Amino acid sequence: MSKYKVNLKINNIPVSVDEGTSILEAARTLNFTIPTLCHHDDLCVAGNCRVCVVEQKGNRVLPAACATPVSEGMEIMTNSLKVRQARKHVVELLLSEHNADCTKCFKNGSCELQDMSNDYRIGDHVFLDLVKDRERVKDISSPSIEKDDSKCIRCQRCVRTCADLQAVSALAVTHKGNEMKISTFLDKPMNDVVCTNCGQCINRCPTAALTERNYIDEVFDAIYDPKKFVVVQTAPATRVAIGEEFGMKPGTRVTGKMVTALRRLGFDKVLDTDFTADLTIMEEGTELLTRLKEALVEGKEVALPMLTSCSPGWIKFQEHLYPEFLDNLSTCKSPQQMFGPLAKTYYAEKVNKNPADMVVVSIMPCTAKKFEAERPEMRGSGYKDVDYVLTTRELGMMIHQAGIDFQKLEDERYDNILGESTGAAVIFGTTGGVMEAALRTAYEIVTGKEVPFTNLNIKPVRGMEGIKEASVKIKDVKPEWSFLEGVELNVAIAHGLANAKVVMDKIKDGSANYHFVEVMGCPSGCIGGGGQPMPTNMEIRKQRAAGIYEEDEGLTIRKSHENPEVQEIYQSFLHEPLGHRSHDLLHTHYVPRKRH
């Protein structure tokens, strides 16, 4: 930021802000909220919706507050008569082209456009009703994303998200004039284009034009079916975010309340994806060490760097855009998909249930997990391993529907087995977490000692920079790992697919020399997932990340290999990481997809 200060007045109150600040940001410092639609804190300026117009003394036109930088001596009115009139007209015009059937809309009660028309009490039809897409059927081709053009106000937040944050550009502005819309290549259905199902566009869409496919009714049906044994698993990032659906602060840790709520909703067993996150570390850590051994000792051609594989949006991104690097992806399934087959084999046997009668539901911060569960590879148990995937938001809706007063719930504990986890698993929820968890375990396997960081906190891999790089020198190894003595393990961490693309291009052109790379498809990792509560911005994601690290520090066991249930499952069922059973149930393969 520039050090020059600019002095101006907003609603007659003097304020001094950095040069380059927008009127919108300057007004915020004085606690004036200017309404916005196309503006989003995570995205570049668009300035196309005009709801943020303000009056500037001496200026005949009303500048857009989001797109206009402050200047010396400026006098701004954010709520003059002229402004109110203009703003109201803008909203009325938007609504004249909007299929405003709020009472039947998925976003009813959580919609920015609705809030705005609510604030301004838009009552009458001032302008002609020009909704032309009302009859158009929604695109529900994708198992993750629904697209309803009749709800679109063309603010282009989705387009900027998909291009700038995700480097995918599955969505673009197409056609022109009154035909202009947000569409895909050749207007193809969403399941037939490069879309990674990450849901980042959903997180930023101010209306119901982009939403997740919801499976709430299907899950309630299963719960009320007496023949079904319904188990639920919860991803790490859900426990620091679900509270937001009930007015709690982002990052509030509500693990125990969430468990209680799930039990009250009627799930037969409440289990934890964190357990399989620990298992992922065992499998993936061993896979990394095996690859290193093959490369360094046996001189084999091994695909390095190894890339993490827990983020299904990232997987699909690779399949479309870097198919030549599919061998670099770890073969480990994501924790969600490790949980499914174990629930329907190992666990079913333990609790004496027929897997055919079991329904596995997951609560995920993610929309891509819905797609992942549908992949034909994900039937290791002989059944569909994970039956339904709900987002954190959908769980919030279920709890609301069931009339459960979430804030007042007591804390309860996960059922066992498949309910025990460690701090290493919890941190999977934020960028850098998988790397940190893997290092905690791999370093100890190789050296017999804990990672050389205070209190196990590997600070260099934490934080919100888009790409983090770190090196860990491996010293005093155990004899069987002598080939790693003195090796500098180079790792990188990227979150958000645009950052992942930068890392991949470096790997591709040979300018990076990594051994292991963690990629999470969503900005900030799963805590910023496409299925998390809205709104989202960097501040909110930082608070959720802080919640994750607190949860980690609060647990007695913080290393995956020390999880007693993990030790037990290797003893009695899996026998060893990368073993026969693991291969059948916990590992997978990837398919190259077309580039468009």
Partner 1 sequence: MTRIEEFVKEQAEKHGRDRNSLMPILQAVVQSERFLSEEAMVAVATELDLSTADVFGTATFYTFMDTFPRGKNIIRICKTITCHMKGKDAIVDTLEDMLKIKLGQTTTDGKFSLLQANCLGWCHKGPVMLINDEVYPEITPEKAVEVVSKYLKKG
Residue 81 Cβ, how far from partner 1 at the closest point, in Å?
33
What 3-state class would DSSP assign to 232?
Answer: strand
| Site for partner 1 contains 172 (CB under 8 A) | yes
Residue 107: what are its φ and ψ, rounded to 5°? -90, 5
Sole binder of partner 1 in the list 106, 120, 185, 453 (CB under 8 A) = 185
**E strand or H helix that includes residue 398:** helix 392-401
Say which of 158, 309, 526, 582 is annotated catalytic. Answer: 526
Please state, in angstroms and rounded to a whole number, the distance separating the CA atoms of residues 405 and 393. Answer: 16
183 binds, among ligand SF4, ligand FES, partner 1, none (CB under 5 to 8 A by kind): partner 1
CB 527 within 8 A of CB 238: no
The terminus-to-terminus CA distance of the chain in angstroms comes to 38
User: Taking the C-alpha atoms of 297, 299, 305 and 306 in order, what is their torsion angle to the nearest 10 degrees?
Assistant: -70
| Site for ligand SF4 contains 151 (CB under 6 A) | yes
Q: How many residues bind ligand SF4 (CB under 6 A)?
A: 39
Residue 95 Cβ, how far from ligand FES at the closest point, in Å?
15
Residue 170 Cβ, how far from ligand SF4 at the closest point, in Å?
4
Residue 46 Cβ, how far from ligand FES at the closest point, in Å?
6
CB 272 within 8 A of CB 339: no
Residue 526 Cβ, how far from ligand SF4 at the closest point, in Å?
15
| Mutual angle of helices 255-265 and 392-401, in 10-degree steps | 60
- The number of CA neighbours under 13 Å toward the Cβ of 278 is 26
Stretch that binds ligand SF4, among 108-116, 322-330, 385-393, 571-579 (CB under 6 A): 108-116
Q: Which is nearer to partner 1, 92 or 164 (CB)?
A: 164
Q: Which is nearer to ligand FES, 20 or 448 (CB)?
A: 20
Q: How many residues does the chain have?
A: 596
Q: Indicate if 369 belongs to the active site.
A: yes
HEC secondary structure over 282-310: HHHHHHHHHHHHHHHCCCCCCCCCEECCC
**E strand or H helix that includes residue 545:** helix 538-554
Going by the DSSP 8-state scheme, the letter that residue 332 receives in this structure is B
Q: Indicate if 141 belongs to the active site.
A: no
Q: Which amino acid is at 97?
A: E
CB 184 within 8 A of CB 193: yes
> What Å distances lie between residue 118 and 92, 155, 475, CA to CA?
12, 19, 63
Q: Return the residues of window 142-171 that contact partner 1 according to CB under 8 A.
A: 163, 168-171
Say which of 147, 369, 370, 501 is annotated catalytic. Answer: 369
| Site for ligand SF4 contains 166 (CB under 6 A) | yes
Q: Indicate if 526 belongs to the active site.
A: yes
Residue 176 Cβ, how far from partner 1 at the closest point, in Å?
5
Q: How many residues bind partner 1 (CB under 8 A)?
A: 18
Q: Which residues contact 193 (CB under 8 A, 6 or more apart)?
A: 170, 184, 185, 596
Q: Indicate if 287 belongs to the active site.
A: yes
Residue 142 Cβ, how far from ligand SF4 at the closest point, in Å?
8
Q: Return the residues of window 186-225 that contact partner 1 according to CB under 8 A.
A: 186, 193-194
Say which of 150, 309, 330, 381 is annotated catalytic. Answer: 330
HEC secondary structure over 313-328: HHHHHHHHHCHHHHHH
Please state, in angstroms and rounded to a whole number, the distance separating the CA atoms of residues 427 and 445. Answer: 20
Going by the DSSP 8-state scheme, the letter that residue 272 receives in this structure is E
185 binds, among ligand FES, partner 1, ligand SF4, none (CB under 5 to 8 A by kind): partner 1
Residue 462: what are its φ and ψ, rounded to 5°? -95, 170
Please state, in angstroms and rounded to a whole number, the distance separating the CA atoms of residues 134 and 145. Answer: 19
Residue 327 Cβ, how far from ligand SF4 at the closest point, in Å?
23
Q: Indicate if 372 belongs to the active site.
A: yes
Say which of 55, 244, 372, 565 is annotated catalytic. Answer: 372
| Site for partner 1 contains 183 (CB under 8 A) | yes
Whether residue 305 has a cis bond before it, omega within 30° of 0: yes
Sole binder of ligand SF4 in the list 145, 261, 425, 526 (CB under 6 A) = 145
Q: Which of 52, 85, 56 is nearest to 71 (CA)?
A: 56
Q: Which is nearer to ligand SF4, 98 or 581 (CB)?
A: 98
Residue 397 Cβ, how far from ligand SF4 at the closest point, in Å?
14
| Site for ligand SF4 contains 197 (CB under 6 A) | yes
Sole binder of partner 1 in the list 21, 36, 99, 184 (CB under 8 A) = 184
174 binds, among partner 1, ligand SF4, ligand FES, none (CB under 5 to 8 A by kind): partner 1
Q: Indicate if 284 belongs to the active site.
A: yes
Here's the x/- map for ligand SF4, 65-104, by CB under 6 A: it reads as ---------------------------------x-xxx--
Tokens describing residue 425: 């698993």
Please state, in angstroms and rounded to a whole number, the distance separating the CA atoms of residues 162 and 541. Answer: 19
**E strand or H helix that includes residue 489:** strand 488-495
Please state, in angstroms and rounded to a whole number, the distance separating the CA atoms of residues 585 and 7. Answer: 64
Q: Which is nearer to ligand SF4, 15 or 100 (CB)?
A: 100
Q: Which is nearer to partner 1, 70 or 205 (CB)?
A: 205
Whether residue 206 has a cis bond before it, omega within 30° of 0: no
How many Cβ atoms from other residues are within 10 Å of residue 473's Cβ? Answer: 9
Say which of 92, 294, 377, 444 is annotated catalytic. Answer: 377
196 binds, among partner 1, ligand FES, ligand SF4, none (CB under 5 to 8 A by kind): ligand SF4
Binding stretches for ligand FES (CB under 6 A): 36-39, 47-52, 64, 66-67
Which residue numbers are catalytic? 284, 287, 310, 330, 369, 372, 377, 526
Under the rule (CB under 6 A), what is the footprint of ligand SF4? 98, 100-102, 105, 107-108, 111, 113-114, 145, 151-158, 161-162, 166, 168, 170-171, 182, 195-201, 205-210
Which parts of this chain interact with partner 1 (CB under 8 A)?
A: 163, 168-176, 183-186, 193-194, 595-596
